[in-house]
A and B are shown apart, each in its own frame.
Chain A
Amino acid sequence: MAEIDRSLLGVWGPDTTMRVEAGKIREFARAVKDPNPAYLADDGALAPPTFLMTIAHWMRDLGETRSAVKLDYRRLLHGEQEFEYVRPIRAGDVLRFRSRTRDVFEKQGRRGGTMTFIIGETEFRNQHGEVVAYMRNTAIETADAVKE
């Protein structure tokens, strides 16, 4: 069973910087097989829709994110991922992001055992202080080790 600290639900973690770089946008666009010229522009290249996944390069140690849930990664599934796009994100932007656990709830699995659903949310602001995007994910901790 997941260890849940309900006092941390909804509490934002610390701000972290994420620099949006033209080379990284190109690399990411190529990785998702998308040669759209908007992503390859010399100036102000646009970030592709799932580019914010590159946050992994900027995140600090998990211990610093004040997650409300202690997760067992051997039993963790990525259930859903959602992006809300508020303003364009372009090469040269300096984003500040912060994360929180929005909700945690349990459901009975079809094959028995309790599944814990953890809804996380990350807010991104640009160098002008404007919100540019929200990223939300649903992680599922299964009762047993993940099997096919």
Chain B
Amino acid sequence: MSEGGSERFAEGAAIPPFVVENLTRTDLVRYAGASGDFNPIHHDEPFARAAGNPTVFGHGMLTAGLVAKCITDFVGAGNLRRYKVRFATRVWPGDTITCAGRVTRRYEDAGETRIDGEVTATTQRGETAVTGTFSAAVTAA
């Protein structure tokens, strides 16, 4: 990437993965406190089991937050213009979550160069936990 920007944000360009290994229950509790989402299904083991789950599972928006980091590491903090996620399957303590994506479109809008992209979070089982799309402003080099 000798010229930097233009190839980095070309259509089809890969967004470097962000990997979280061994998601812990502490991670879930930390997200519960930070977000204010205290649905006990995400931290209370007996409650989660009584609801028919093998154990507690992660907040969908925690995974969406990890995917957002993957995107902003690529486009820069403050450059997202739109971000949308769809929740597919759940993530469990001990999971390794890989966030990655690619640029799908590059265009000019509202006086800035923008890209659209698609992103996913997948587990070590190959399951898709979250799919998403985004638009961001990029600095064209």
Contacts and interface: CB of A to CB of B under 8 A. Distances in A.
A54 B34 contact: yes
Nearest to B131: A80
Contact of B64 (A33, A50, A79): A50
Interface residues of B, number: 32
Interface residues of A, number: 32
Interface string B58-73: 0011101110110111
B35 interface: yes
A147 B51 CA distance: 9
B37 interface: yes
Contacts of B73: 36
Interface stretch (A81-89, A97-105, A117-125): A81-89
A100 B103 CA distance: 33
Most buried by A among B60, B65, B71, B80: B65
B80 A85 contact: yes
17 contacts: A27-B34, A28-B34, A30-B34, A31-B31, A31-B65, A34-B68, A36-B69, A39-B77, A78-B60, A80-B85, A80-B87, A81-B61, A81-B64, A81-B84, A81-B85, A82-B82, A148-B53
Interface of A: 24, 27-28, 30-34, 36, 38-39, 46, 48-50, 53-57, 77-85, 88, 147-148
